[in-house]
Amino acid sequence: MRQSSLVVVANRLPIDDSVAPDGACEWRRSPGGLVSALHPLLRHTTATWVGWAGGTGAAPTLGDLDGVRMHSVPLTAEDLRDHYEGFANATLWPLYHDAVEQPEYHRRWWEAYQRVNQRFAEAAAEVAEPGALVWVQDYHLQLVPGLLRALRPDLRIGFFLHVPFPPPELFMQLPRRAELLRGMLGADLIGFQRAQAAHNFAQLVTKVLGLPATDRRITVDDRVVRVGAFPVSIDTAEMAALAARPDVAERARRLRQDLGDPEHVILSVDRMDYTKGIEQRLKAYSELLASGDVKVRDTVLVQMAVPSRERVGQYQILRDRVEREVGRINGEFGRVGEPAIHYLTQTFDRAELAALYRVADVMAVTPLRDGMNLVAKEYVAARVDDSGALLLSEFAGAAAELSQAYLVNPHDLEGLKQELLAALRAEPADVRARMRAMREHLHRNDIHAWARSYLSALDESGSLLTRVAGS
């Protein structure tokens, strides 16, 4: 087994399988948030990515992807049901997102979570060279740092949580709360999106485990575990370059024409998830149509809602409700050839997405709770002429950085309607000043800056990173 000095461990490998024109199965880089976040860093090093390739059964043997070694971890149908769909996405996901849907607790799911985390820890232990840096990602794998430390105490282990970390009063619901905290404490550095999350974690380790902790340092056994906020970002320059491409600009012009050359285009791009506030947004829009503040003739809403986690009951229920509501709104307010909402559930390639960002005069990103929300950042990066208004939920991690956005509380229907109207009617000079400030922020705080700041904090002495860069 080839070993690497830098190992990333994440639930998914950064690939999708697709069928080539000749019928052969081929693997391609996938467009997910975490994948986009880490890929630019890894392609410059000899690294291994440990993760699940999708599907059930034997793990496929995969070649390198842009110089990154792919090490796949198998999941059985039972693991998929009880670990991924169960404990990760029907227990932790809703709990960590303010319990906007009821988290479910099942002992069988917890057993699967432990079993799958153990498998990932063993895979990481196998591919890490002595003293390597291992960076474990996200809520699917919170036990991996502790399990990996037990197997390989020589490693430098980092853990980063991409989703929110809840306040103690919510986390305390978890039947196996102490084990989860201990699992994370196997890391040398625990990164969160926001300072508040690091604070919540420090409070919890004292409350549940009785360990001395500040927001930044926790003492466990004879080690100090550091905790901090490292807001994740995007490849700002890459998105800006894509959006500036002449074919993308041309596509944006055509899209606007196809939409009937309206005065205003509002765009929302979400995974179909109850945390994204899709229903609240539709309700606000429908009320604005009913009151006549917004008219179908001069304003269109493009709502992309890409289906996700489709076998989880709460996601199926949400999709049914959203589609019923879109149908109702279009039936009530649309006209022949002029729907009130252009509703799309397909995934688009990056160039088409960039063209959509360019078309959108207002981008509505209004989740009820979100770790970061990279769509908000991508929109800003794509507005290369500094035009465009971002309507952003206060409860998205991105709001802590993009304070020049039109900020809203998505639970406040009146506030949501007023702020959407404010964004639609804003003075171009005001819009431009806000957008320019946000774009400058994102050019300084891009994905490379994020990875550098996390990894240099993890590798205090700097010796491992020097080795990684040279490998």
Classify strands 189-192 and 217-220 as parallel, antiparallel or unpaired. unpaired
377 binds ligand F6P (CB under 6 A): no
Q: How many whole angstroms separate alpha carbon 340 and alpha carbon 359?
A: 17
Residue 454 to residues 140, 259, 313, 334, Cα–Cα distance (Å) = 20, 43, 36, 49
Task: Kindly name the residue from 162, 235, 361, 446 that is annotated as catalytic.
Answer: 162
Rule CB under 6 A: choose which of 3, 308, 409, 453 binds ligand F6P: 308
Q: How many whole angstroms separate alpha carbon 201 and alpha carbon 209?
A: 11
Nearer to ligand F6P, 30 or 236 (CB): 30
Nearer to ligand F6P, 371 or 388 (CB): 371
Task: Provide the minimum distance between the beta carbon of 260 and ligand F6P in the complex, in angstroms, as a whole number.
Answer: 33
167 binds ligand F6P (CB under 6 A): no
Q: How many whole angstroms separate alpha carbon 55 and alpha carbon 84?
A: 12
Task: Provide the minimum distance between the beta carbon of 340 and ligand F6P in the complex, in angstroms, as a whole number.
Answer: 28
CB atoms within 10 A of CB 19: 9
Q: How many whole angstroms separate alpha carbon 470 and alpha carbon 332?
A: 62
Task: Provide the minimum distance between the beta carbon of 43 and ligand F6P in the complex, in angstroms, as a whole number.
Answer: 18
C-alpha dihedral (70, 133, 188, 236), degrees to nearest 10: -70
Binding mask 200-239 for ligand F6P (x = CB under 6 A): ----------------------------------------
First to last CA, the chain: 17
Instruction: Spell out the SS3 assignment of 25-66.
Output: EEEEECCCHHHHHHHHHHCCCCEEEEEECCCCCCCCCCCCEC
What single-letter amino acid sits at 216?
A: R
Binding mask 114-143 for ligand F6P (x = CB under 6 A): ------------------------x-----
Q: How many whole angstroms separate alpha carbon 271 and alpha carbon 287?
A: 24
Q: How many whole angstroms separate alpha carbon 275 and alpha carbon 368?
A: 5
Nearer to ligand F6P, 37 or 408 (CB): 37
Task: Kindly name the residue from 235, 370, 446, 459 that is annotated as catalytic.
Answer: 370
State which of positions 138-157 bind ligand F6P (CB under 6 A). 138
Task: Provide the minimum distance between the beta carbon of 296 and ligand F6P in the complex, in angstroms, as a whole number.
Answer: 32
Nearer to ligand F6P, 161 or 435 (CB): 161
Nearer to ligand F6P, 90 or 382 (CB): 90
Nearer to ligand F6P, 309 or 358 (CB): 309
| DSSP-based three-state secondary structure for 103 | coil
Task: Provide the minimum distance between the beta carbon of 142 and ligand F6P in the complex, in angstroms, as a whole number.
Answer: 13
34 binds ligand F6P (CB under 6 A): yes
State which of positions 4-33 bind ligand F6P (CB under 6 A). 12, 32-33
Under 8 Å between Cβ of 439 and 386: yes
Task: Provide the minimum distance between the beta carbon of 41 and ligand F6P in the complex, in angstroms, as a whole number.
Answer: 15
Tell me if residue 370 is catalytic.
Answer: yes
Nearer to ligand F6P, 163 or 269 (CB): 163
Q: Which residues are 350's β-sheet partners?
A: none
Tell me if residue 162 is catalytic.
Answer: yes
Burial tier of 22 (Cβ tally within 10 Å: 0-12, 13-18, 19+): exposed
Please give the residue ranges that form the binding site for ligand F6P (CB under 6 A): 12, 32-34, 138, 162-163, 308-309, 371
Tell me which residues are annotated as active site.
162, 370
